[in-house]
Amino acid sequence: MIKLSCLLELTHVTKVYPTQAGEYLALKGLDFTLNRGEMVAIVGTSGSGKSTLMNIIGFLDHCTTGSYVFSGRDVSHLDDEELALIRNQKIGFVFQSFFLLPRLNALQNVMLPLLYRGIQTDLAIKKSLDMLQKVDMKKFAEHKPNQLSGGQQQRVAIARALVGDAEVILADEPTGSLDSKTSHDVMQLFIELNQNENRTIVVITHDKEVSHHCPRVVTLHDGKVVTESSS
């Protein structure tokens, strides 16, 4: 049997949001483990805590209590600066609304994470063009986001998430703004990246069609994991 190596582990994680009506407990003692090379869908009704979980996994936010171990290191108590550093090196994000910078063209958008890391421009251009090629968008390298369709913008956003060799790609409703054919193509791209390059991918989705493509599905309900299934 192949021994899978654990990339990250959340244990008894809670998340409390302060609100005007008092504290709101969005995660209620959640356990979640992700192995390297896995592709997992996170599903659950609106408000069940999916984005909250993704923000914690992706170092965009802290858990309130519980532990978070990433790559063998306890990261539960790191400060914002330390979290930002890990986030920039280890995590590639893809969001429903793409979040491409409107004034930059596709190539410049993909280059951004590399430039933040101080990688030389020539090398950043080369790596970014390779990545655009991978998502079949090289011919649109000079196009600005408003000159691209939704599916094309999402492919550029995926290239940006991949370019820095992140340890994990976190996608929150990546097909939420796309029609069903484009949505299928984007999911197919994730599946290829997982199967051919062993990329570790977490996809949050409402779409049964999308989760159907994932070998492991984790269902959240009311701030907890309620079911796990693997095919």
φ, ψ of residue 196 to 5 degrees: the values are -85, -30
Here's the x/- map for ligand ATP, 3-42, by CB under 6 A: it reads as --------------x-x----x-x----------------
Verify binding: residue 174, ligand ATP, rule CB under 6 A: no
Sole binder of ligand ATP in the list 13, 32, 40, 44 (CB under 6 A): 44
Residue of the chain from 46, 146, 196, 231 that contacts ligand ATP (CB under 6 A)? 46
Burial 122-154 (b: 16+ CB within 10 A, else e): eebbebbbebbebbebbebbebbbeebebbbbb
Reported as type and span, the H/E element at residue 39 is: strand 39-43
How far is residue 49 from each of residues 85, 144, 176, 198, 205, measured CA to CA in Å? 25, 34, 17, 27, 12
Site for Mg ion in 51-80 (CB under 5 A): 51
x/- map, 15-54, Mg ion, by CB under 5 A: -----------------------------------xx---
Q: Is 49 in the site for ligand ATP (CB under 6 A)?
A: yes
- Contact yes or no for 59/83 (Cβ under 8 A): yes
Binding residues for ligand ATP (CB under 6 A):
17, 19, 24, 26, 44, 46-52
